[in-house]
Amino acid sequence: MTDVLGTHTTELSGRAAQLLRDLGADLPTPGALTARTPITGEPLLTLAATEADAVDAAIDRAATAFRSWRVVPAPARAALVRRLAELLVAHRRELAELVTLEAGKIRAEALGEVQEMIDVCEFAIGLSRQLYGYTMPSERPGHRLMETWHPLGVVGVISAFNFPVAVWSWNTALALVCGDTVVWKPSDTTPLTALACHALLRRAAVEVGADPEVHQLIQGGSEVGARLVDDERVALVSATGSVRMGRIVGPRVAARFGRCLLELGGNNGAVVTPSADLELASRAIVFAAAGTAGQRCTSLRRLIVHSEVAAPLLQRLTKAYRQLRVGNPLDDGVLVGPLINERGYGAMRSALDRALADGGELLCGGERVDGFGTDAHYVTPAIVRMPAQTEVVREETFAPILYVLEYQDFDTAIALHNAVPQGLSSAVFTRDQREAERFLAADGSDCGIANVNIGTSGAEIGGAFGGEKQTGGGRESGSDSWKAYMRRATNTVNYSTQLPLAQGIKFE
């Protein structure tokens, strides 16, 4: 097939195969699982899904490797992550290109995602010497009270298509330095990037003398993930995906008393106040709402703007939106690539129809961009002015739709912002310190991420990433997120010759 991209699908397929070889991955055995490129919608490669008994065997290998990995000193475990970071630096462009081919991200965003992997590896390396526990004063003389942190076990990682490599690295880099082993089930939409990352980590393990079995890769659909979720040998399941997926995974892991770390939906909002720097706000809003074609969990979906500045702000935004170049993400100058597949496009069209039926006004965008093949789905990012926060606005649509709501007072803005089921990322644009502090206060934004004068997306790895309510409550990446991957023990040491009891109890 050749389309107006001027790119043969067979060329893209061949390029994907060559990138896998360059990254040290074996070409997959052909099978029923198809990796497609959203650039054209056509197949890249096929591969076999992991059979049920092979999933069990992978978990068993990880559980066996854990028994020796957990006693390796944490700074020594960091050698594996350090070597992985070095390989990522050396192969940054190849891995980023594979992300573009398989997930449709523009080059800059794909390179940024790989850089995020490198950054979190660096964070984890330093963390390996900082797995601190507290020492507390004991009420009993001659006693010491303290806590220690120990490796947890096998960590199951279930990742989504929109960040096919970064989210894996958030979990894996931390889990490995914490002494855990990892079984990774990537999205069945992005299996090739998973093959590449698995190969790089296995190579790193061999080169530093670590056991390569500390990392396992399983591929396939929900039935493969279900075996990972239900296996009692998996101590922690870290799952990124939809709220619907979280409603399934959470109770099943809880039923076997496993741990769960959920990163689910984000219907993110930004408040723009009368004092806001509209030029700064406009730039932040456009990137947050249109970047990655609206397919980030942190994408801006609701703009809550004061009526005094609504007109000039919307004028800026619509002008900027009309200048966004939508097209092949491999081309220079393209800012918005394709939606991942037809289902994503259908969800966008349905949401726009519902918004207009609710009285919304389409200010710009929402059209399909033709010329990329019938199986590819490119759209112009849309801005819709809404009369109220209707049900479709309260839902997360994984597409570039920005709903605009107006407000008159700041309390109303916060109430509108919080009146959705999701609670991931949020922002306020203001030059009023009182408004900024109020937004960050206990009665302000109810999200896990609250920003002032920056957008909702583009979080740094140093802070904990995650959200509240239907977003799942999980935390990954920076700060003290490492605690999710370890178990805590409280220790009391009696170095006296007496045996006093706590709370002054006498038992003679």
Write out the catalytic residue numbers: 263, 297
Query: Which letter does DSSP use for residue 451 in this model?
Result: E
Reading the block at residue 422, the tokens are 């999701």
Reading the block at residue 210, the tokens are 């670590």
Q: Are 55 and 24 in contact (CB under 8 A)?
A: no
- Measure the CA–CA gap between 481 and 475, rounded to whole angstroms: 6
Q: Say how many C-beta atoms besides its own lie within 10 A of residue 17's C-beta.
A: 16
Query: Which letter does DSSP use for residue 134 in this model?
Result: -
- Measure the CA–CA gap between 230 and 138, rounded to whole angstroms: 41
| Nearest of 204, 153, 208, 212 to residue 179 by alpha carbon | 153
Reading the block at residue 10, the tokens are 């067979």
The phi, psi pair for 21, rounded to 5°, reads -65, -40
Reading the block at residue 247, the tokens are 């409603």
- Measure the CA–CA gap between 477 and 455, rounded to whole angstroms: 19
Write the single-letter amino acid at 467. Answer: G
Q: Say how many C-beta atoms besides its own lie within 10 A of residue 450's C-beta.
A: 18
Reading the block at residue 497, the tokens are 């010759």
Reading the block at residue 255, the tokens are 């039923």
- Measure the CA–CA gap between 396 and 402, rounded to whole angstroms: 11
- Measure the CA–CA gap between 255 and 185, rounded to whole angstroms: 21
Burial class (CB in 10 A: 0-12, 13-18, 19+), 477: buried
| Nearest of 426, 448, 404 to residue 316 by alpha carbon | 404
| Nearest of 304, 284, 217 to residue 457 by alpha carbon | 284
- Calculate helix-pair angle for 52-69, 222-230, nearest 10 degrees: 40
- Measure the CA–CA gap between 55 and 363, rounded to whole angstroms: 49
| Nearest of 16, 15, 457, 58 to residue 220 by alpha carbon | 58
Strand partners, 259: 236
Q: Are 205 and 65 in contact (CB under 8 A)?
A: no
Q: Are 313 and 278 in contact (CB under 8 A)?
A: yes
